[in-house]
Structure 1
Amino acid sequence: MKTQVAIIGAGPSGLLLGHLLHLQGIDTVILERKSPEYVLSRIRAGVLEQGLVDLLREAKVNERMDREGMVHEGVSFSFNGEQRRIDFKKYADGKTVMVYGQTEVTHDLMEARKQSGALSIYEADDVQPHDFYTDKPRITFVKDGETVELECDYIAGCDGYHGVARQSVPADKIKTFERVYPFGWLGILSRTPPVDHELIYANHENGFALCSQRNAMLSRYYVQVSLDDKIEDWSDDRFWGELKTRLPEQVADRLVTGPSIEKSIAPLRSFVAEPMTFGRLFLVGDAAHIVPPTGAKGLNLAASDVSTLYRILTKVYKEGRADLTAKYSEIALRRIWKAERFSWWMTSMLHKFSDDAFGKRMQLAELEYYTTSDAGLRNIAENYVGLPYEPIE
């Protein structure tokens, strides 16, 4: 088999990269270890930055998003029993975010890929990239018991934190940076109306809480828990009681509760791998970086990687600009580290790390300053809606 760009991973970043390249007449093959049903079963966040919304529109997969997605023009922080709103339109030059589930984004991209006729191979076992430091990279994989070789010009590793792409890089060629946080998020999904029309991030002496949503009748809520906690420790009644405790009284009073339809505990970490280019292998999205979900940056950072790589590869094939591939890593990492900073800062400001009274006062001072100062409000708003994508020239 031969293709121009081989993509490992059929999550949203791999599918979006593949579809954007297809629209430019660039041939791609996507290899995915799991089945389509498994990929669609992953429950993930759904706050889309302005840049990702624009990119999905550029990819012509925006029809359902524009019809069903919810535009949010702000977000609230609660602390000391008060709720403070950050107005995106006012403080981020009119930009907003879109609440539209990652599962829905993936579904739309899968459907577009199917309609395009471009090749996706699911349940591909033992995927292995080879020779990516040469001008003839290739991938071997096993499908239905037979070993297949895929020759290509470039390889995009869009296969996540645990994927084979980063693991294939020689240890002396890559450096990683990591911070693991001493708590997790217990999240539930419920068929109940959201408590607010926008997201609420709560700082409370018991720990962090977040009120989020998927649509007008599907809510997503989180509370900070110990890493030692188990799902079995948290009945629905205990969860709702603790969530109400961590919210301002006027918010808690209007919270509609109901049985959970999904419940999970997720650890939090910050992680970056440098560089992101290894010969003709590029790391994209979670294969290269992880952020705590506090800043809603995971999928959005993957999208900015996709945008950068897509525009570079388009210039490679359309204009012969092979020199640009060397710039992918530095361009992507500039934006990644800024988003890592914002996610780390949000996590540090909103979560309970200890019973240290001084640390708590510092958190409250940060929240007070950033929610009352024009400079602070602009800082939060412009980072939350997403920093601009760097042009490729």
Structure 2
Amino acid sequence: MRTVSTQVCIIGAGPSGLLLGQLLHDIGIETVILERVSLDHVLSRVRAGVIEQGAKRMLEAAGAGARMNAQGLVHDGFAITRESEHHRIDLNGLTGGKYVTVYGQTEITRDLVDRRADTGGLTHYEVDAVEPHDFDSDHPYVTCRIGGEETRFDCQFIAGCDGFHGASRRSVPEKAIRSFEKVYPFGWLGILADVPPVSHELIYASHSRGFALCSMRSRTRSRYYIQCNAGDSIDAWSDDRFWTELRRRLPADIAERVTTGPSFEKSIAPLRSFVAEPMRFGRLFLVGDAAHIVPPTGAKGLNLAVSDVHYLFEGLRSHFLERDDHVLDAYSERALARVWKAVRFSWWMTTMLHRFPDQAPFEARIVETELAYTLGSEAAKTALAENYVGLPY
């Protein structure tokens, strides 16, 4: 078995792993990133696109923000429609000048991949049988197969950035971890199409037929979603059926403006809320989807992963450069405090905007009233805007 030494071994080359690796690399801390799938597969993943200002600053700090700043779409508000009603949430006015940026997660990943290559960071793709070991000791290590060769990475810390189904959380003894989960009884059917967006801002639609979202990736590429049954098959949803259903859930004036066209990506995403506690186990740290999942309604998934990276990077920087472990020891507590607030917000948005099957009449009325109150109250809209643009870290 080949043995390699590094300071931090990062499992997973998604945005969180690449961002953490770059920030550490830039201050002279040695890292290696191990990814299960190919680079082409990583860059083909279609994910979120609403970026908080905190996440934007982190990408800029890693030297990966130039293309985002040039091509990203700055949004200082979004719309919520309620049957035929149209309400605008003024993010800028309600939060004292804050905004979000629309820029696809795939593009963020590409920017981070390019930045790591330009600065000489080491990433291995198509790595098999990744497994963390002895992270409850002072000498953790990770074993894997790279190009068929058994390899061991001796390190000081392991960062598990390998997602919900990755090896990092699975390696933790069951008795050492507590999980909280809610699975929603519906999914999101999403398409990408090279057609101009129906609006220059996002539209969240609450309708008796179900939720819909009008989003975009650029001024010429649209991302649309509709709520669907959890067991639906992609094969049952032709493009024509999708466009027809989307229009039904929008106010008539907006529906008339929807430009249709062939989709080049179509998928159904299940919705769940999930949190694992704690997020540190000795010298193993869980980051992003490895520790928590949120429904996409509040646009928090990628942004939460970036805030985890912020807390972990601060801790590792203090450990290596200042010989101080106070920040690192507080990682799980600090990260989870923000995670749970975002989980609450995402659950609230999902509950308020979707139609639940078999919902009791009383609950349905409460949900309707919650939305009506939110749209009619300046204080409630301020709380919505404050959470949407991202809580500070």
Residue of structure 2 equivalent to 1:385: 389
The whole-number CA distance in structure 2 between the counterparts of 1:38 and 1:228 is 26
Q: Are 2:115 and 1:109 equivalent residues in the alignment?
A: no
Gaps of 5+ in 2: none
Residue of structure 1 equivalent to 2:231: 228
Alpha-carbon deviations, 1:312-352, whole Å to 9, x = none? 11111111112332210000000000000000000000000
Alpha-carbon deviations, 1:140-189, whole Å to 9, x = none? 11112111111111000000000000000011100100000000111111
Look up the SS of the partner of 2:232 in the other structure. Answer: coil
The whole-number CA distance in structure 2 between the counterparts of 1:360 and 1:131 is 50
Alpha-carbon deviations, 1:192-222, whole Å to 9, x = none? 1001101111110011100010001110111
The whole-number CA distance in structure 1 between the counterparts of 2:279 and 2:55 is 20
Q: Are 2:4 and 1:23 equivalent residues in the alignment?
A: no
Alpha-carbon deviations, 1:32-76, whole Å to 9, x = none? 111110100101011001110111111121110000000000111
What amino acid is the match of 1:87?
D
What amino acid is the match of 1:371?
L
The Cα of 1:270 is off from its aligned counterpart by 0.2
Contact 2:318 / 2:328 at 8 angstroms: preserved in 1? Answer: no
Residue of structure 1 equivalent to 2:374: 370
Contact 2:188 / 2:226 at 8 angstroms: preserved in 1? Answer: yes
Residue of structure 1 equivalent to 2:350: 347
Q: Are 2:71 and 1:62 equivalent residues in the alignment?
A: no
Contact 2:48 / 2:105 at 8 angstroms: preserved in 1? Answer: yes
Aligned match for 1:313, one of 305, 308, 316: 316
The whole-number CA distance in structure 1 between the counterparts of 2:155 and 2:26 is 18
Look up the SS of the partner of 1:220 in the other structure. Answer: strand
Aligned match for 2:248, one of 242, 245, 249: 245
The Cα of 1:123 is off from its aligned counterpart by 1.1
Q: Are 2:74 and 1:42 equivalent residues in the alignment?
A: no
Contact 2:46 / 2:106 at 8 angstroms: preserved in 1? Answer: yes
Alpha-carbon deviations, 1:294-317, whole Å to 9, x = none? 000000000000011001111111
The Cα of 1:363 is off from its aligned counterpart by 2.3
The Cα of 1:356 is off from its aligned counterpart by 3.9
Contact 2:178 / 2:277 at 8 angstroms: preserved in 1? Answer: yes
Look up the SS of the partner of 2:190 in the other structure. Answer: strand
The whole-number CA distance in structure 1 between the counterparts of 2:83 and 2:230 is 26
Contact 1:61 / 1:109 at 8 angstroms: preserved in 2? Answer: yes
Q: Are 2:155 and 1:152 equivalent residues in the alignment?
A: yes
The Cα of 1:136 is off from its aligned counterpart by 0.7
1:116-131 equivalence runs, <5 A: 116-131=119-134
Aligned match for 1:325, one of 309, 323, 328: 328
1:173-188 equivalence runs, <5 A: 173-188=176-191
Q: Are 2:142 and 1:139 equivalent residues in the alignment?
A: yes
Residue of structure 2 equivalent to 1:97: 100
How high is the TM-score relative to the length of structure 2?
0.97
The Cα of 1:377 is off from its aligned counterpart by 1.1
What amino acid is the match of 1:31?
L
Percent of aligned pairs with the same amino acid: 59
What amino acid is the match of 2:114?
E
Gaps of 5+ in 1: none
The whole-number CA distance in structure 2 between the counterparts of 1:372 and 1:90 is 16
The whole-number CA distance in structure 2 between the counterparts of 1:118 and 1:266 is 33
Aligned match for 2:210, one of 194, 207, 218: 207
Contact 1:79 / 1:364 at 8 angstroms: preserved in 2? Answer: no
The whole-number CA distance in structure 2 between the counterparts of 1:342 and 1:44 is 19
The whole-number CA distance in structure 1 between the counterparts of 2:390 and 2:269 is 24
The Cα of 1:237 is off from its aligned counterpart by 1.0
Q: Are 2:182 and 1:197 equivalent residues in the alignment?
A: no
Residue of structure 2 equivalent to 1:86: 89
